[in-house]
Amino acid sequence: MPTALLSVSDKHGLVAFARGLHARGWTLLSTGGTARTLRDADLSVVEVSDVTGQPEMMQGRVKTLHPAIHAGLLARRGHTGDMAELRGARYEPIDLVAANLYPFRETVARPEVTLAEAADNIDIGGSGMLRSAAKNHGAVWVVVDAEDYDRVLAALDAPPPADELRRELAAKAFAHTAEYDRAIAEYLSRQGEADHGAYRAELALVLDKVQELRYGENPDQRAALYAERDARNPGLTAMRQLHGRELSFNNLLDVDAALLAVSAWNPAEAAACAIIKHTTPCGIGVAADAGEAYRKALAADPSSAFGSVVALNTEVTEVAATLLRPNFVEALVAPGFAEGALDLLREKKNLRLLVLPLASDTGDLDWKRVRGGFLAQERLAMRFPEEEWRVASRREPTPNEWRDLRFAWRAVAMVKSNAILLARDRMVLGIGAGQMSRVDASRLAVLKAADNAHDLVGAALASDAFFPFRDGVDTAGRAGIAAIIQPGGSVRDSEVIAAADEHGIAMVFTGRRLFRH
């Protein structure tokens, strides 16, 4: 009669699986709480302590760490010596292990957890059994996922062998224990971050496939979305699609950029809308309501907004949906949709409607893939403190200019470098993005504003990094720009300030750079 050792923390599906094994003539061997659950279901169970001859010790810390268990799992069934030693020790083979481990991840996710509580939830015996069973998977079934219970029962009813399934389950078991150990190492390492910072000698990145995508950046590239396991914020993997065609690789990149852009504004204070093309904004607007925010964002550059991704930091109202509906938009993402807005937008068959709450500043690392490795950095904090700001020019900004400068500084943080952004009345007027020189970014921003008939006289300009020369300021001055906000820090700051003074421009230094590569 074959023997199954069942010892699980998550008891989902356990009783049905045990009933299936019992009905097929298996002996059920178990420990502690799992044994009680099976007995409560009127199943006959042999206690591990009856097999080992040793009662559980130290409040269950030691129960399966015994040769009767591990010899029964590791004995090679076709090896004469192994089987003779097993019989000589009066041990029996164990033919299946179903185990999942103490809930370490869930325990340490609680803010109030102590180091002692975390240590108590480090599973030793369960990990050991899984590894022994997986090592000998040619003879021993190993199950770590309740979703596999029915597959195993079906395989037991089929003619042997089931080598491919056994191999798959063994790989899953080793992945399970490896990830478990990684979570423990990550937690213990984090306890010392105050001493040595977040950038340890080794970092593990474990990803789970969420879905395959239509294709990558181009149709001949395969692609998929993966979720970072144990991320402090689930990000796009928590997004719900309410309507529209399947999301593509490029859609998801633009959705991520759009959400980053609107998260610069607190929805309790103002509605913000960002229109994204190729991961950089072509329009940003902030207003008292979602409809007006979208109108402002669209007016920045209507032609570039064709085929864009749009994000709002607040619920999509019926008014906003009415304004958006005539335009070709690939995807619209927001924390929610009013019922009337959904009815209107669902008339557009292919428009992807997505719900995702705004991300909080979680402290997760921002990863960039490079050949042979990754770059890691802190995520850009959507906070814009003004403590270090100083007026560098002779002229102070007016109250209206201060309002425009604050808006422009938040908005330019979302634009790819080199970045210049022109704004007035909490609306973008022109953007120069991704240019090789800052003066070209200035010229492009002015050109885009002119193309869309925006009057720049009295407008504000934000630069994501310092002006290395005065030429960018001269370009702004000739266009009528009244105020500039930039980090400062150039060796030619004096020349740049002099140019601002010559044009009568108020210039503010922030002391902080906002590059986005």
DSSP track, 415-447: SPSS-EEEEETTEEEEEE-S-SSHHHHHHHHHH
DSSP track, 224-283: EEEEETT-SS-GGGG-EEEESSPP-HHHHHHHHHHHHHHTTS-TTT-EEEEEEETTEEEE
Output the CA torsion 341→342→347→350 (10° steps).
120
Q: Which residues pair with 243 in a beta bridge?
A: 353
Coil, strand or helix at 141: strand
Q: Are 510 and 483 in contact (CB under 8 A)?
A: no
Peptide bond into 267 cis (omega under 30): no
* Dihedral sign for Cα atoms in the order 20, 23, 27, 30: positive
- The span from the CA of 313 to the CA of 315, in Å, is 7
* Dihedral sign for Cα atoms in the order 38, 40, 44, 49: positive
**Residue type for position 251:** N
The contacts found for 488-497 with CB under 8 angstroms, 24 or more apart, are: 488/392, 489/513, 490/466, 492/467, 492/468, 493/392, 493/466, 495/469, 495/470, 496/466, 496/467, 496/469, 496/470, 497/392, 497/393
Neighbours of 287 (CB within 10 A): 19
- The span from the CA of 143 to the CA of 113, in Å, is 29
Tokens of 506: 């108020």
Owner of token pair 């069942």: 6
* Phi, then psi, of 374 in degrees rounded to 5: -135, 150
Q: Which of 278, 348, 349, 448 is catalytic?
A: 278
In the residue annotation, 278 being an active-site residue is answered as: yes
> Which candidate, 333, 370, 376, 382, places its Cα nearest to that of 355?
333
Q: Are 52 and 29 in contact (CB under 8 A)?
A: no
DSSP state of 76: -
Burial class (CB in 10 A: 0-12, 13-18, 19+), 479: buried
Output the CA torsion 482→486→489→495 (10° steps).
-20
Q: Which of 135, 172, 243, 503 is catalytic?
A: 135
- Show which residues are catalytic: 135, 278
